[in-house]
Structure 1
Amino acid sequence: MRILFSFIIFVSCSALANANSKIAIVIDDIGYRSTDKSVLNLPKQVTFSVLPHTPFGRELAEKGNLQQRDILLHVPMESINNLLLGPGAITSEMDEEAVKKTLAASVADIPHVIGVNNHMGSRLTQLERPMRWTMQFLKENDLFFLDSRTSRYSQAGYVAKDTGVPALNRRIFLDNTINEEYIEKQFLKLIQISKREDVVIAIAHPHPETVNVLKRMLPMLKSNNIELVSISELLPAQNASLIATESSSASNEAIAAIAPK
């Protein structure tokens, strides 16, 4: 709260810099903890990105959809530091069939998915071949890709464009440090970035500290002429319409892809 009160006058006075700014906030890493359910108390414009094959993933995707939220699949991808990835992971050792089968099983596990973003992935997103296989799968299932940008050398955007997959990029992380004072600073930074860039995507996580700060600070957006939007609203109009229409069929197609033949 100290940071909030010390900066609120400055932020509000600069609000007229851009009257049409849009912010999308994506909550990653949903699914492992029962406390993740607290994110259901955030505004419906806040997007959920759900880890596959987790204890609470399917339930929270279903409940989020009932709140008319956008639901993303949070796909674990190989990191430079070889961190533990969890189920549904894609690695550089996998061939095309394994990559697509893994993605299909994950989409089948998490309902109402309209897009995918990477969990970790600092190594995999730098590799053109597995990213091309990933984008081919997304193209076939009418899904878009949000690059979490865990590597400055990510090839995901280039490959998505080449494959014809709608793609977006994360601009800022809000809670790399799990401390309310730090998260408040990042939220104020998010507001300032939005005045320069019109459209900004932030990623956060379902920590109690993060949820507390968001509930407290999200009302600031309106007073600063910033609109909180669902991630799908940042897609080109024709792609957003297609994804909205076809998302319900994506899970069925993915299930069919892994069904015994």
Structure 2
Amino acid sequence: MAALGGDGSTGGGRLARTLRGLSVRKVVLLLAATAAVLLAGRLLLFDDPLGGEPVAVVQLDSLPASRANTGETTGMRATLESEQPESLPDDQALPPADIVIGDPLTPSAATGGGEIGLVEMSRHGPIPAIAPDGRRPFDAYARPLGAVPPTGPRIAIVLGGLGLSTLTTETAIDRLPAEITLAFAPYGDELERLSARARQAGHELLLHVPLEPYDYPDSDPGPHTLLTGLDPEQNRDRLHWLMSRFSGYAGVLNYMGARFTASEDALRPFLGELRDRGLVYIDDGTSPRSAVPKVAREIGLSVAVATRVVDAVPTRAAIDEALRQLEDSARETGSALGIGSALPVSIEAIREWARGLEARGVTLVPASALVGGGAI
């Protein structure tokens, strides 16, 4: 028996001699013909140009005749609740939209949550402005007085420092009567959400504006504090930044500011800007040198000055006593305005005090009710 390929008598030897006898061109043509035969056989066997790849068959139902694209108006629309067509009202020519997608450049988005016409765009964002029809932010955002007795003592309470702590702010919103006015500091992370929630709960809002104290910068009210050493345009720009932090407030409450409020030169353009933007000013009443009442009368700005700070000593006993003295002041003069801070002890003390106020013959009102009289 001959070895494989040893004497050329095997099949491998014959194939080798055959290939040596062919030219290169003939070999190429032979290979191409072989490939074509194999491809044709594959198509005949599978009848599938995808060559046996897995496929999925999906049946598509045709549209009903009533919804076919005939080019005519059918007067119907599909609702979100049902796929059945719903007839349009007789006086409506086009189907109303089920879903409205807001454009980020529409006035509602551009105003930062404020009412259209009551804002103006600054380089820092939307800030309050008087509408073309004369409406002021104060008119739009002051809490309605409601059914208040025409006579009898009235008390307003402003709680400041809201917005810095989410938990404390939400507690104040939820637990305090809606007549309590809330002043938001301009430095919180969720000011728009929290201030909107406060307004939905019925609270009137103020913007807490930091003003220069006598010992500045040892006592620093915070970034963008208005300073007596800056020119009016610099302070105005700082004020615009503060104003742009949230919307929906009726006026401004100072934070610190004994030096600033004692300077008529610094006060005049600041208070004038508030007047020109339709806001009011509330002074916390802590500085005996404040020139706010004098300058406000000269320029025609509505203001109120607080009667006392109710939690200057932040203990429950001291707060209860301060609230009692506030009632005495209201009975003597007809009205009184108290200022407090967003402290848990203050929130609880004011909440419990307010419960029995009506029974004691005193009406709780928003701070806007005392602007321009009573507390000044």
TM bracket (short chain):
0.7 to 0.9
State the identity as a percent.
23
Cα distance change on mapping 1:205 and 1:226 into 2, 3 Å: same
> Does 1:70 pair with 2:192?
no
Moved over 4 A (4+): none
**Counterpart pick for 2:186 among 52, 63, 73:** 52
Query: What is the match of residue 186 of structure 1?
Result: 322
8 Å Cα contact 1:51/1:73 also seen in 2: yes
**Counterpart pick for 1:140 among 267, 272, 276:** 276
Query: What is the match of residue 31 of structure 1?
Result: 163
> Does 1:157 pair with 2:289?
no
Q: Provide the rounded CA distance (Å) in 2 between the counterparts of 1:209 and 1:56.
A: 23
TM-score, scaled relative to structure 2: 0.56
What SS does the corresponding residue of 2:250 show, helix, strand or coil? strand
TM-score, scaled relative to structure 1: 0.80
**Counterpart pick for 1:166 among 299, 302, 312:** 302
8 Å Cα contact 1:23/1:227 also seen in 2: yes
> Does 1:22 pair with 2:146?
no
- Give the AA of the match of 2:270: T
Q: Provide the rounded CA distance (Å) in 2 between the counterparts of 1:212 and 1:117.
A: 22
Q: Provide the rounded CA distance (Å) in 1 between the counterparts of 2:205 and 2:158.
A: 9
What SS does the corresponding residue of 2:273 show, helix, strand or coil? helix
What SS does the corresponding residue of 1:123 show, helix, strand or coil? helix
| Worse overlay, 119-128 or 144-153 | 144-153
8 Å Cα contact 1:52/1:87 also seen in 2: no
Q: Provide the rounded CA distance (Å) in 2 between the counterparts of 1:136 and 1:217.
A: 37
Structure 1 segment 8-19 matched on structure 2, within 5 A? none
What SS does the corresponding residue of 1:145 show, helix, strand or coil? strand
8 Å Cα contact 1:33/1:56 also seen in 2: no
Unaligned runs of 5+ in 1: 1-18, 238-261
Q: Provide the rounded CA distance (Å) in 1 between the counterparts of 2:347 and 2:206.
A: 19
Figure out how many residues of one structure are paired with residues of the other and give that number.
220
Q: Provide the rounded CA distance (Å) in 2 between the counterparts of 1:236 and 1:97.
A: 28
| Offset at residue 58 of structure 1 (A) | 3.1
What SS does the corresponding residue of 1:20 show, helix, strand or coil? coil
Q: Which has the larger radius of gyration?
A: 2
Unaligned runs of 5+ in 2: 1-150
- Give the AA of the match of 2:159: I
Structure 1 segment 187-226 matched on structure 2, within 5 A? 187-226=323-362
Q: Deviations over 1:145-197 (max 9, x none)?
A: 11112210101111111111101100011101111111111111111111101
Query: What is the match of residue 311 of structure 2?
Result: 175
| Offset at residue 67 of structure 1 (A) | 1.8
8 Å Cα contact 2:164/2:187 also seen in 1: no
Q: Provide the rounded CA distance (Å) in 1 between the counterparts of 2:328 and 2:203.
A: 26
| Offset at residue 236 of structure 1 (A) | 5.2
Query: What is the match of residue 3 of structure 2?
Result: none
| Offset at residue 88 of structure 1 (A) | 3.2
8 Å Cα contact 1:121/1:150 also seen in 2: no
Q: Provide the rounded CA distance (Å) in 1 between the counterparts of 2:152 and 2:158.
A: 20
Q: Provide the rounded CA distance (Å) in 1 between the counterparts of 2:200 and 2:226.
A: 29
What SS does the corresponding residue of 1:61 show, helix, strand or coil? helix
- Give the AA of the match of 2:169: D
Q: Which has the higher contact order (CA 8 A, sep 6+)?
A: 1
| Offset at residue 60 of structure 1 (A) | 2.5
8 Å Cα contact 1:29/1:74 also seen in 2: yes
Q: Deviations over 1:102-122 (max 9, x none)?
A: 112211112101111110011
**Counterpart pick for 2:249 among 113, 120, 131:** 113
Cα distance change on mapping 1:44 and 1:151 into 2, 3 Å: same
- Give the AA of the match of 2:232: E
Cα distance change on mapping 1:156 and 1:236 into 2, 3 Å: closer
Query: What is the match of residue 14 of structure 1?
Result: none
